Structure 1
Amino acid sequence: MTRALPSTLRLLAAACAAACIAAPAFAAAPMAKTPAPGYFRTMLGEFEITPLSDGTVDLPVEKLLNQKADKTTGALAKAHLKTPLETSDNAFLVNTGKKLVLIDTGAGALFGPTLGKLLANMKAAGYTPEQVDEVYITHFHSDHLGGLLAQSKIAFPNAIVRASKQEADFWLSQANMDKAPAEARDFFKNAMATLDPYIKSGKFKPFDSDGELVPGIRVQGAQGHTPGHATYVVESGGKKLVLVGDLIHVAAVQFDNPAVTIGFDSDQKAAAAARKKVFDAAAKEGALIGGAHLQFPGLGYLRSEGKGYRWVPVNYTQMR
């Protein structure tokens, strides 16, 4: 026979059993449905790099990539993805210690309700739009320059905006818009409307050649996706970050097969060549890559592998 429990323990056990029977059932906790603020932080030498999320947008990439749809869906499936593909729209804030430079601005109000979160995420990251000294645009598609305006007003009142003169000459031309296909004209209209306040206030200053824009940041042309598409190279303390804009859209497809282009490319052959040139150099040098449409925060390294590349995302850091 088992020995009887001490009376105090018997009483405690009985009380617990009664409480469990009598306790009311609580409703399940409601789902929060929102992630943490959309920013990341890391150091590049002496520079602070803050990727900012403008949100995500669903893209029917099986219709947009220049390969058979089943190849695209097959490649996505291997990465546990499907179409339409939820695609990040990233921008990058670079604090050199002397200048605060924003590279690309997201879509603002130009691409629907799932985008336009850049300013809120910038504030969550500890910065304000008024602190930005310069804004560099990789190209004039709406999901990269729309954030220049907030409620139809200049979003970065103290900033100089810079982009390729070749890009500006193309997209800000009424003659080019008039002869463009109907489906492309909104890109022209959005570029004109977005840049106009900066042009009128003397804050838009295009550049016409590669070179240093501020100490530690230089522009490097990578035409093909658009006539004046540019990449920006950030260097500090022997470390390099290449912000590639739209040299790549669908990581699950284009890293393995970089010859695949997308319907948004204005010159398919030149776009593929620009991607290969920049990616080969980054893989050889061990440079960090930042992509506008790579999964947020869009930072990682490339390793050459066969005819393509292996993507190695950055490690999460608390900057200790």
Structure 2
Amino acid sequence: MQLLQKLSPLAAALAFTFSAPAMAAAPLAGTNAPGFFRIMLGDFEVTAISDGTVDLPMNKLLQQPAAKTDQELARAYLGNPVETSVTGYLVNTGAKLVLIDAGAGNLFGPTLGKLLANLKASGYQPEQVDEVLITHMHPDHVGGLAANGQAAFPNATIRADKHDTDFWLSQANMDQAPADSKGFFQGAMTSLAPYVANQHLQPFNGASEITPGIRAVASYGHTPGHISYMVESKGKKLVVMGDLIHAGAVQFDHPEVTIGFDTDPKTAAQARKQVFTAAAKDSELIGAAHLPFPGLGHLRSTGKAYQWVPANYTQLR
């Protein structure tokens, strides 16, 4: 009898539970927060801005046996294809607002093309951008420059290495290119056309000071005029390295591994080694467009390999 008395409240609760109407689960939200992340570099404000992600079949693109790539990706809890970030970096020097790379625009489908929306979410407007610096003229770095034939950054000067502008904006080169490569030329031409028309495209040649606090560093190979940008304020340095790396799970341990997108694989591998070595030696912060967003961190040299140390989360005060 005592046991029944003890059980009766539990039984009543269970009876109520099973007789109460079922509560529907909340629907899946399906979105993340706006894609921007902000740090201070000396007196400069740097905002990483997400353009979205794209799935890349790394076991087909990386120039090593597919089984080895699969094994190295699995060790990092990744499979194929790898969801790969595309990121631009907005630098407010106090005197200028400078964007490094413009994302894919509408050239790569619905998972990319979010840079403009995220730039606005970060507190800036595209009309405020003074200069857009291009690491190289592949579509996922220049596609966001234009929409419907109009300049997305109407007041900006576009800067890119002359080796890249001469190569990708050449009709003769496009005519001679294989059919599966012509889209790269078409994307560059369409994206740059409004700036060519209003004379806002200003190429430079190799290592150059672009604006006080930002200089170009030649890192040719991925494309004929692939450039990294060194951003420096009060002795703090950030090197925005474009496409020197695509797959951190493989290329930090094996920087010699190239990718099918490289125009000159041997030179691209040498450039990666050179920039990685300097960044590790000088403790430079790195901004890498295709590492997981925000793609900011440091490198530690470990013999012939490198260890990636992601930047600590920070809340500006």
TM normalised by structure 2 equals 0.94
Q: 1:24 Cα shift?
A: 2.5
User: For structure 1, which segment, 174-183 or 88-97, has the greater mean C-alpha deviation from structure 2 after superposition?
Assistant: 174-183
Task: Give every structure 1 segment of 4 or more consecutive aligned residues whose post-TM-superposition deviation is greater than 3 Å.
Answer: 12-23
Match of 2:66 among 64, 69, 86: 69
User: 1:166 Cα deviation (Å)?
Assistant: 1.0
Which amino acid is the alignment partner of residue 279 of structure 2?
A
How far is the alpha carbon of 1:150 from its aligned partner? Answer: 2.3
* TM-aligned CA distance change 1:64 to 1:13, over 3 Å: closer
Q: Which residue of the partner structure matches residue 114 of structure 1?
A: 111
Measured after TM superposition, the shift of residue 17 of structure 1 is 8.1
- In structure 2, the CA distance between the partners of 1:260 and 1:21, relative to structure 1 (3 Å rule), is closer
Aligned residue number for residue 180 of structure 1: 177
Map of 1:282 onto structure 2: 279
Q: Does 1:197 align with 2:197?
A: no
RMSD: 1.8
SS in 2 for 1:109: coil
State the distance in 2 between where 1:177 and 1:25 align: 62
With 125-134 and 171-180 compared, the bigger mean Cα shift is at 171-180
Structure 2 residue 190 is matched with structure 1 residue 220: no
Aligned partner of 1:153 among 139, 150, 153: 150
**Structure 1 counterpart of 2:51, from 48, 51, 54:** 54
Kindly indicate whether the alpha-carbon contact (under 8 Å) linking 2:85 and 2:292 is maintained by their aligned counterparts in 1. yes
- Residue correspondence of structure 1 range 33-52 to structure 2 within 5 A: 33-52=30-49
Structure 1 residue matching 2:36: 3-state secondary structure: coil
Per the alignment, do residues 187 and 17 of structure 1 end up closer, same or farther by CA in structure 2, a change over 3 Å counting? closer
**1:29-56: per-residue Cα shift (whole Å, max 9, x none)?**
1111111111111110111110011000
| Residue ranges of structure 1 left out of the alignment (5+ in a row) | 3-11
* Partner amino acid, structure 1, of 2:257: V
1:127 aligned partner: 124
Look up the match of 2:257: 260
- 1:85-124 residue pairs with structure 2 within 5 A? 85-124=82-121
* Equivalent residue, structure 1, for 2:6: none
Contact 2:284 2:298 in 1 (8 A): yes
Q: Quick one: distance in 2 between partners of 1:246 and 1:222?
A: 10
Q: Secondary structure at the match of 2:64?
A: coil
Answering whether residue 173 of structure 2 is matched by residue 210 of structure 1, we say no
Contact 2:149 2:194 in 1 (8 A): no
User: Percent identity over the alignment?
Assistant: 64
1:250 paired to 2:267: no
Q: Which runs of 5+ in 2 are unaligned?
A: 3-8
Cα deviation for residue 152 of structure 1 reads 2.9
Residue-by-residue CA offset, 1:199-246 (whole Å, 9 max, x unaligned): 110111111131211110011111000000000000011100000000
Q: 1:307 aligns with which of 304, 307, 312?
A: 304
Superposed counterparts of 1:163-178, under 5 Å? 163-178=160-175
Deviation at 1:18, TM superposition (A): 8.3
Task: Give the aligned residue type for 2:164.
Answer: E
- Distance in 2 separating the partners of 1:183 and 1:206: 27
1:288 deviates by 0.3
TM-score w.r.t. the length of structure 1 is 0.93
For 1:182 and 1:152, locate their aligned partners in 2 and report how far apart those are by CA, in whole Å: 24
Aligned mates of 2:227, 2:175 — CA distance in 1: 25
Partner Cα distance (1:260, 1:209) in 2 = 25
- 2:122 is equivalent to residue 142 of structure 1: no
